[in-house]
Every structure is written in structure tokens, then in C-alpha cells.
Structure 1
């Protein structure tokens, strides 16, 4: 059995009432993949990079000095990006006829959109609306998650069959 099939079976174990009555299976799988990637995998990789590889050091690149927490974020991004892409391609949107290279490029564009939307959302909610940063981040995350799902479904993995 392929790894993706095993992951799908594991996720589907939790697709029970009342969740099954509220969410389509594809949305549930997408949420599970995103939850794993951004709530477990990303923080674990970040902590390992920050504490073990970076070692709290600043990096002088000649034109800019990169702080340790930003350096760790930069190092972790490719891992999180490719794990998220693989999970979306093989678990949440596995029936898409669009080629892998096209999907990868589109995924990169949608992630870029997520980053810009997060930045703009935080600037708007904190600086314009006067909302505290933490609640502003929660609101922004909800908006970006909805955008991310719609971008994946209708752009990155377009024409993926529903399961």
C-alpha cells in the first residue's frame, strides 16, 4: 500500500458524525493535511532548525543581517512547502488531471498569495482597525485558510474529482 493510501485511511478514521454531516470529505482531508503541516510539522522543523542548526546566531549576508528566527523560517519554508504540496496532491486533491509541474508552480503562486494576504490582513486589522495582534492573526488565519482552500481547489489542483 502506498503512503498516500495509508494517510487517507488514517484521516478517514476521523471522518465521522457530526463532522461528516458538516464537511465534505475533500474539505476534511484538506484540513487534516493543513493541520499536520502547519500545526505539527512546521513548528517541529522550526524548533529543530532554530535550536540545533542556527544556534541563535545572526547571519550577515553582506547586504542584510538575518536574525536567527527569520533564518530558521527561511530554512524551514522549503520543507513545509513540499510536504504541504505532496499532501495536497496525493491526499486532498489526488484526482486532478493537471500535471505535477503546473500544480507545483500554481501551488507556489497560491502560497505567495497566502503570504501577501497574511501580511495585508495583519497590517489592516492591527494598524487600521486597531485590533490587538493575536486576535488579528486569528482573523487573518481564518481568511487565509479559506483563500488557500479555494485557491487549491479551483486553481492549483483544478478539476480534481471529489471523493
Structure 2
């Protein structure tokens, strides 16, 4: 299993680093990897949101018995269930590999940031869709941009803070 994990990790890093020379005068390798991993995971999350909103919940409320979720909130949670583990994997093993933190500690910190981000997602979607009457998918895109900026700052300077610089292949 370790060989598979190492192979996947090295493949992802190799593909990302292949494009780094185009951007090395603008970004550090870590910032570039964060942007690449985050960008792919963000696009996946938005695609999952759109598919969930239009085809899974079909723009209808989702009755869970004790609570009823509006369609955009149900779609947010469905996409989140997939993008959360992928995002953690990419941050832990591709972007912030040398943070010096134990996995358990890093996971707990990651989950605390995720809770803040999902709360911010929820709040912004409620404001944009329910409060301002905007369409759900463009609201999700704008929300994602705002939350990604917040998440980057928190993860870079608190969650996965590096104790040492990283080299090209980590």
C-alpha cells in the first residue's frame, strides 16, 4: 500500500512540477503546488456541486427527517463528502509534506479549518442564494473563490506551516 501511495504522490508532484518553470518567477514551489492541487480539487467540488444540484437533488429540498436541506446546501454537502478527503490527501502529501506535524495533529487542524470553511460556504451560499436571490452555481463559484483565499491563508500560516523549506520533489 505504501508503494502505491508513494507512486501516486510522486506522479502528482511530477505532473505539477512539470508546469512550475512557467510560473517560478511568480510563485514559490509550495504556493504553486497549493494552487494546482487546490485548483483541481476546487473544480471537482464545483462540478460535484453542479451535478448534485441539477441531477441528484434536482433543485428540490432534501428531507432528512429531522431537518430539510435546501437544494444548494444539500449539493454543497454532497460535494464536500468527496472533496474533503481528496483535499486533505493533496495538502498533506503533495503541498505541505514537510510540516513537521504528526498526521493526527495535522488531520485535527485540517478538520478545524474545514469546519470553518464549510461554515463560511454555508453562510455565503445562504446570503447569495437565499438573501440576494442569485443563481446557485454562480454563487457557489464566488463563494469558493472567497473561501479558497481564506483557506490558503489559514493552511499556509497555521495548519501546515513548514519548519523547513521543500525541494522540488519533496
What TM-score, normalized by structure 1, do the two folds share?
0.74
Residues 92-127 of structure 1: CA deviation (Å, up to 9, x unaligned)? 11112211121111112222333455647x97xxx9
| In the alignment, structure 1 residue 65 sits paired with structure 2 residue 68 | yes
Question: How large is the Cα RMSD of the aligned pairs?
Answer: 3.4
Alignment match, 1:16: 21
Residues 108-163 of structure 1: CA deviation (Å, up to 9, x unaligned)? 2222333455647x97xxx9xxxx998xx85x766644432232123222335332
| In the alignment, structure 1 residue 114 sits paired with structure 2 residue 121 | no
Alignment match, 1:4: 9
Determine the C-alpha separation between the residues in 2 that align with 1:115 and 1:70: 10
Determine the C-alpha separation between the residues in 2 that align with 1:109 and 1:91: 20
Determine the C-alpha separation between the residues in 2 that align with 1:144 and 1:71: 18
| In the alignment, structure 1 residue 104 sits paired with structure 2 residue 107 | yes
Determine the C-alpha separation between the residues in 2 that align with 1:151 and 1:8: 22
- Which 5+ residue runs of structure 1 have no aligned equivalent? none
Task: Pick from 151, 156, 164 the counterpart of residue 153 of structure 1.
Answer: 156
Task: Pick from 10, 28, 33 the counterpart of residue 29 of structure 1.
Answer: 33
Task: Pick from 58, 78, 81 the counterpart of residue 78 of structure 1.
Answer: 81
The count of residues paired between Structure 1 and Structure 2 equals 154
Determine the C-alpha separation between the residues in 2 that align with 1:48 and 1:141: 16
**C-alpha contact (below 8 Å) 1:93/1:160 kept by paired residues:** no
Task: Pick from 32, 36, 42 the counterpart of residue 38 of structure 1.
Answer: 42
Q: Secondary structure at the match of 1:15?
A: helix
Q: Secondary structure at the match of 1:13?
A: helix
Q: 1:55 to 1:103 in 2, by over 3 A?
A: same
Q: 1:15 to 1:158 in 2, by over 3 A?
A: same
